[in-house]
Structure 1
Amino acid sequence: MVTLDIRTLVVRILEVILTCISFSLVASVGHSTASFWTWCMFTWCFCFCVTILILVLELTGLSAKLPISWDDFTTAFAMLATLMVLAASIIYPVFYTCPSCGRQIGASVTSCLAFILYAVEVGLLRAKPGEISGFMSTVPGLLKVLEAFVACIIFICLDYNQFSRFPGLQWCVAVYSVCFIFALLVIVFTICRLLTLFPAPFDKVLTVCNVLAVLMYITAVVIWPLYSFKNNPRPSYCKNGIRCPWDNYVVITFMTCFNLAAYITDTVYSFRLVFFVTRT
């Protein structure tokens, strides 16, 4: 049975309004074929549409009839929307605003406010100590969404012509892919209530996979910059303020380190879940 919380309801209504204002202001400026512009517009439109869908399903009571874990779905989406809108709130002002760009600045402000609201929603949906809730509302569940999102950023920055030349870089891509697939499976299986299909207790499977992910990411943290930057300085044509393909190496390196930290945190929580919580 899905119950309506007035605070969450108000937050979602404000999210709809702010994301609508963001993409409306940007659309009124004009269309662009740039990938960053497309990403920002997709983010605001996607979050707007899904948030409206969630509101309609909850207000009509249809959410209780869906064959999914509604609480897990809404929590996973809130976390995903928080990360997506955060990225849009950074990217759009950096590339598309100027002191005289009133509508662009307005869109950036409303996007930042939308990010804050989605983060507040995650805080409202997150499981409290002693509270019985779905896996996605726990810290490990939220970390799975974060890990998958960071992996998507890495995939966007990858260039086949760059990593196909070195087996070491191909291994790193394999690491990103395998860990992303597992994180995605955990999210999908949780939302669709299919965790019983795991061949062993879910918490133990999660712990083992997290340990393997940490070990694999440790190798990627070492190998990726070693092969990417050795005898490969930043090209002279990459002027200050101009983004070039070489910068993708830096982004991937940073995101690899960030995801390693996320997996280490996830592993710590998993060990706590298996060896402490379950025993008590």
Structure 2
Amino acid sequence: MCCLFRLPQLFSTCMAFSLVADMGIRRGALGNWSMSFWCVCFVVTLVISTVDLRELWSRFPYFWSNFTITYACYATLICLSASIIYSITYVQFLPYGPYRDQANAFSCIASVNWYDRGDVTCYVHTVAGLLKVLETFMAGFIFTFIINTSLYLHQPALEWCVAVYSICFIPVALAILLNLGKWQCRLPSLYPIFQLVLSLLSVLLYVSALVLWALYQSNEEFGGQLQRSSDMGCINGLTYTLCFWDRKLTVAILTAVNLLVYVADTVYWARQISVGTGGQSSARDPLHSQEVSLQSSVSP
């Protein structure tokens, strides 16, 4: 049944990048991004379907169920982002034809990822897990737009912003891996307090990054450009790539959005600690708390 649910995903992602590739026109960075998103989702979904059909997941059943559900969340965000990028930016360069809107339609269909949850309780089904997924996804998107080092090299303030994105990304990714492997229960009881401190520190770091990036984006004294028309790369007609002004503005917006996610994460952990028993065990992990409560209810 899981493989049947994944057939529409395979078909929609395959049709999306096949239609764009069959146009036979220059795609540029924007088109290549969308193509790579669809290809990655198609390949990973195909691998997961193959593993399920051959029942290779029996060698690591606990990790596999968590991995497939987590991947479904990321694939939904990736295909949705590809649909937005394709429709808002790249589609304006395409000639009118039958393939122009069909690729975006299939990408939108692919953004709806079906998976069989069953009785599996996964970390990403919790509020904490969803927030961690959003934090890593937004950070990955920021890395995509700052891949051109000319945006920040030889500018210490902007280099600090890039360091902030990396510093905040690493502990969040480790937290997801720990929970996917169900190793969080082996951690000390101060784990929720540690998560709260990390979230609060990430908020402060992202505030500094947002202020500095916006300042260097708009203030001409720091080499910024308040208006888009000031960037010569943005007024040379239609191009297949984003000019520097667009990239910097996009990074600033993504930084602000991820800052809000970190604020929500901080509020979540603060609430978990405040309502927990002594601020420890019940706030340690939502899934662990559910297991403990279930065992206590059935014990004599």
TM bucket (normalised to shorter chain) is: 0.7 to 0.9
Q: Does 1:112 align with 2:108?
A: yes
Q: Of 88, 91, 95, which residue of structure 1 is paired with 2:90?
A: 95
Mapped partners of 2:54, 2:151: distance in 1: 51
Q: Of 219, 223, 228, which residue of structure 1 is paired with 2:208?
A: 219
Mapped partners of 1:32, 1:144: distance in 2: 36
List per-residue Cα deviations over 1:30-88 (Å, max 9, x = no partner): 36462222221221121112112222323433213127622321122111111111111
List per-residue Cα deviations over 1:168-210 (Å, max 9, x = no partner): 2222111111011112222223334443675664433222211
Superposed CA RMSD: 2.8
Amino acid at match of 1:41: M
Question: What does residue 151 of structure 2 align with?
Answer: 162
Q: Is the 8 A contact 2:30 2:85 kept in 1?
A: yes
Mapped partners of 2:205, 2:24: distance in 1: 44
Normalised by the size of structure 2, how large is the TM-score?
Answer: 0.78
Larger Rg: 2
Map 1:1-280; keep pairs closer than 5 Å: 6=1, 9-30=3-24, 32=26, 34-66=28-60, 69-93=63-87, 94-96=89-91, 98=94, 100-115=96-111, 117-118=112-113, 121=115, 125=117, 133-158=121-146, 159-195=148-184, 198=187, 201-231=190-220, 232-233=224-225, 234=228, 235-237=230-232, 238-239=234-235, 243-276=242-275, 278=282
Q: Tell me the SS of whatever aligns to 2:244.
A: coil
Mapped partners of 1:203, 1:71: distance in 2: 25
List per-residue Cα deviations over 1:5-38 (Å, max 9, x = no partner): x5x5543221111112112222222364622222
The 1:202–1:62 alpha-carbon spacing in structure 2 relative to 1, beyond 3 Å, is farther
Amino acid at match of 2:45: T
Q: Is the 8 A contact 2:151 2:244 kept in 1?
A: no
Amino acid at match of 2:35: M
Count of aligned pairs: 266
Mapped partners of 1:257, 1:155: distance in 2: 15
Amino acid at match of 1:107: A
List per-residue Cα deviations over 1:75-131 (Å, max 9, x = no partner): 22111111111111122233135462211321111111111x22x65xx74x9xxx8
Amino acid at match of 2:271: R
Mapped partners of 2:154, 2:161: distance in 1: 13
Normalised by the size of structure 1, how large is the TM-score?
Answer: 0.83
Displacement after TM superposition at 1:263 (Å): 0.8
Which structure 2 residue ranges, 5 or more long, are not aligned?
277-281, 284-292, 294-300
List per-residue Cα deviations over 1:136-186 (Å, max 9, x = no partner): 321221221221121122122224333233332222111111011112222
Q: Is the 8 A contact 1:136 1:190 kept in 2?
A: no
The 1:42–1:217 alpha-carbon spacing in structure 2 relative to 1, beyond 3 Å, is same
Q: Percent identity?
A: 34
The 1:250–1:207 alpha-carbon spacing in structure 2 relative to 1, beyond 3 Å, is same
Q: Is the 8 A contact 2:34 2:82 kept in 1?
A: yes
Mapped partners of 1:28, 1:228: distance in 2: 38
